[in-house]
Amino acid sequence: MQHTVQHTQLSPEQAAQCGMGLAIHARQTPQRLAIQSEHGVRTFDALNASANQLLRALRRRGLRPGDAVALLCANRPEFPETLIACMRGGLRVTPVNWHLTPREISYIVDDCEARVLIGDARFTEALQQVKASCNQALIGLAVGGDIAGFDRYDAALECESTADPDDAVAGSMMLYTSGTTGHPKGVQRPPNAPPNHQLVGMLLHANYQPGVSLDLCTGPLYHAAPLWYSMMAPLTCGVGTVLMDRWDPEKTLEYIEKYRITHCHMVPTMFHRLLALPEAVRNRHDLSSLKMIIHGAAPCPIHVKRAMMEWVGPIIYEY
């Protein structure tokens, strides 16, 4: 179903400054694939429309620019919908690592001053404990099923307009550190902060081609690298992304072949596991669509990178 995009005639630069960049792609190429996942598919038009509905649902629950939202969600379409809604509603959104214990999650939800907790029903037990233990009165929205004490995400959206807001204001994202001493630390880039030069450089080098390119998200979206390099970057460029629910080496090859993936982000451990597959399995899949694999996380052993480049070609870039 195509939604009517009522977007004021902003330039792409103006739209990006107030969090409405996706609306440009929704207006220009509404039926292009934006999100492919095991939990649903979104065109650019549908993704934009759902983000608008969520923003209105949050406003209906009293949120105003400067307020915070916490998101505990697996790789599914509601994750980018939440981020996009917050980034055009002046809200501060914090994706939370769902591998943490309920006590650790509660600390982050409290510390980021979330007024709304959007949670995936896959993590019902943890979410109920978090909502019961947090200091402030939390509004809960449940994604993908019912959670006691939470409103249904889809029900909250269905009564709201899909039209673009005429008062969009840039929001922000605050991710929390891991592996540090003491409690995790929230790191916030203010709205319209100077661009991340590493990300800008990657975007230029990626040479995304809307309508041709397609990204594969191999990691959990609560992590900064998959979030920026495998979702926000391609969507910003009008390119869709395929979300893996859980990383698996052979399924990665299957997805690359099935969806004709052109770009993806990995870590050296993934390279090691891919190379450990039987040769017959590795040779079974057509990977010729790949144009760029970027990786970080840790230094990659020379012999591993050499073996990967001998397999897929000189398309692997370390940042």
pTM for the model: 0.93
**Which of the four pLDDT bands, split at 50, 70 and 90, describes residue 179?**
low
The pLDDT value given to residue 309: 97
Most confident of 196-210, 224-238, 254-268: 254-268
| 7: pLDDT strictly greater than 60 | no
At residue 183, does pLDDT exceed 90?
A: no
Band (197; pLDDT cuts 50, 70, 90): low
Continuous H helices in the chain: 12-17, 21-28, 44-60, 78-87, 102-111, 124-133, 153-158, 197-206, 224-227, 233-236, 249-259, 268-275, 279-283, 302-312
DSSP 236-270: HTT-EEEEPSS--HHHHHHHHHHHT--EEEE-HHH
pLDDT computed for residue 203 by the predictor: 74
Mean pLDDT of 168-194: 83
Q: According to the model, what pLDDT value does residue 202 have?
A: 74
Q: Is the pLDDT confidence value at 199 over 80?
A: no
Q: Which domains does the chain have, with CATH numbers?
A: 44-189 (3.40.50.980), 197-318 (3.40.50.980)
